């Protein structure tokens, strides 16, 4: 009996190895999806979908307490927030959407996906969920969308947190010069290009097996036209100064949180933020060391501490 059981366990272990090995070689997207599912479970959030406005939205939701709505940046999706969400759901109700056009949310051919258009879509999403007086948390492009929405709907935003936010005046850096010259640092065709894009956004890029990198490369190729078209739209002054132009209309408490080593949005943007918030109920700012452009992934515990103090200390 013992021998038969050992043989069964041996066969089962071999089968697991074969399945995982086969998935890695032939369907690495399954392994990536499984990893993201594990992270969502650890964060105590569940995935949902709903139709609001012109978009079918995919989003995570979980936790109890004040509602935080987390908006990702350009060429990203809702999964970047999972390490931070794991730190937040014990104290907050979090809602984390894929912004329209990105991730698993739908995309309409020929439609605008600039800051103002996305802020209008956000209104439809929040209304569909009947969310009122939320804390908006926006990263990079998501920060500009959050800020424009908050300026237009101050009654619906209890507080605004901006992380390494796009849309503000700052010192020109190498990234800005490349984008203004017409280059697109967000597109790549192979593993080397993907790894270069990771080095642009992370101080210490996460280690990733080659076949998982291939999943991101394939997605980037598939989305190439949309990425190029949307970046061209974001280069326009109405978009890249969208948040700057609305700072004087923000009346709620505002937090600016930056990585000290940010090579995409220079930390000098924090000065523009503080100087422009002439009507804000309160202004908080924080500079984190040891991260580049992705504080929610590189420093989730420190980011959660700053964000929690801001929200609960008001």
CATH of the domain at 124: 3.40.50.1820
Handedness of CA 304, 309, 310, 314 (dihedral sign): positive
Matching residue, tokens 């503080």:
274
- Return the exposure string of 208-240: e unless at least 16 CB atoms fall within 10 Å of the residue's CB, then b: beebbbbbbbeebeebeeebeebbeebeeeebb
Classify residue 26: in a domain, yes or no: no
Asked if residues 250 and 282 have their Cβ atoms less than 8 Å apart, the reply is no
- In sequence order, the β-bridge partners of residue 138 are 71, 162
Question: Using alpha carbons only, what angle is made at residue 67 by residues 151 and 42, rounded to the nearest 5 degrees?
Answer: 130
Asked if the structure places residue 9 within a domain, the reply is: no
Residues 243/147, Cβ–Cβ less than 8 Å? yes
Residue 153 lies in a domain: yes
Q: Can you give the pLDDT at residue 14?
A: 34
Count of domains forming the chain = 1
| pTM of this structure | 0.91
Domain that holds residue 71: 36-180+237-312
Q: Residue 153: how many CB atoms within 10 A of its CB?
A: 14
Per-position b or e across 269-286, b if 16+ CB within 10 A of its CB? bbbbbeebbeebeeebbb
- A 10 A CB-CB count for 174 gives 11
Q: What is the pLDDT of residues 248-279, one digit of tens each?
A: 999 999 999 999 999 999 999 999 999 999 99
Cα gap 256→270, rounded to integer Å = 7
Neighbouring C-beta atoms of residue 146, cutoff 10 Å: 31
The pLDDT tens digits along the chain (314 residues) read: 554 554 444 433 332 333 334 445 548 899 999 999 999 999 999 999 999 999 999 999 999 999 999 999 999 999 999 999 999 999 999 999 999 999 999 999 999 999 999 999 999 999 999 999 999 999 999 999 999 999 999 999 999 999 999 999 999 999 999 888 888 899 999 999 999 999 999 999 999 999 999 999 999 999 999 999 999 999 999 999 999 999 999 999 999 999 999 999 999 999 999 999 999 999 999 999 999 999 999 999 999 999 999 999 87
- Does 308 map to a domain? yes
Residue 219 falls within a domain, yes or no? no
Within a domain: residue 111?
yes
H helices then E strands: how many in the chain? 14, 8
Note the pLDDT of residue 4.
52
pLDDT of 10 reads 45
Residue 208 forms part of a structural domain: no
Q: Report d(CA 150, CA 155) in Å as an integer.
A: 8
What is the sign, positive or negative, of the torsion defined by CA atoms of 233, 236, 240, 242?
negative
- Establish if 200 belongs to a structural domain: no
């Amino acid at each position: 009996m013992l021998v038969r059981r050992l043989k069964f366990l041996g066969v089962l272990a071999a089968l697991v190895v074969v399945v995982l090995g086969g998935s890695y070689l032939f369907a690495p997207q399954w392994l990536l999806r499984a990893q993201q599912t594990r992270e969502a479970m650890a964060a105590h959030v569940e995935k949902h979908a709903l139709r609001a406005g012109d978009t079918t939205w995919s989003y995570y939701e979980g936790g109890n307490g004040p509602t935080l709505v987390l908006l990702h940046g350009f060429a990203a999706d809702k999964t970047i927030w999972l390490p931070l969400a794991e730190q937040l759901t014990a104290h907050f109700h979090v809602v984390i959407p894929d912004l329209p056009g990105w991730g698993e949310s739908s995309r309409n051919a020929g439609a605008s996906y600039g800051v103002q258009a996305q802020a209008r879509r956000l209104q439809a999403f929040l209304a569909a969920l009947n969310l009122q007086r939320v804390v908006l948390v926006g990263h990079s492009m998501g920060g500009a969308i959050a800020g424009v929405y908050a300026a237009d709907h101050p009654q619906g935003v209890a507080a605004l947190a901006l992380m390494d936010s796009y849309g503000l005046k700052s010192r020109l850096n190498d990234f800005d010069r490349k984008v203004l010259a017409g280059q697109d640092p967000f597109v790549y065709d192979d593993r080397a290009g993907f790894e270069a894009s990771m080095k642009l956004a992370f101080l210490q890029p996460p280690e990733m097996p080659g076949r998982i990198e291939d999943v991101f490369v394939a997605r980037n190729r598939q989305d190439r036209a949309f990425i190029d078209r949307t970046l061209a739209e974001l280069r326009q002054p109405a978009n890249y100064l969208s948040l700057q132009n609305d700072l004087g209309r923000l009346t709620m408490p505002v937090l600016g949180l930056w990585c000290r080593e940010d090579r995409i949005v220079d930390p000098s943007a924090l000065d523009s933020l503080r100087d422009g918030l002439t009507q804000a109920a309160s202004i908080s700012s924080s500079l984190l060391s040891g991260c580049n452009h992705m504080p929610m992934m590189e420093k989730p515990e420190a980011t959660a501490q700053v964000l929690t103090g801001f929200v609960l200390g008001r």
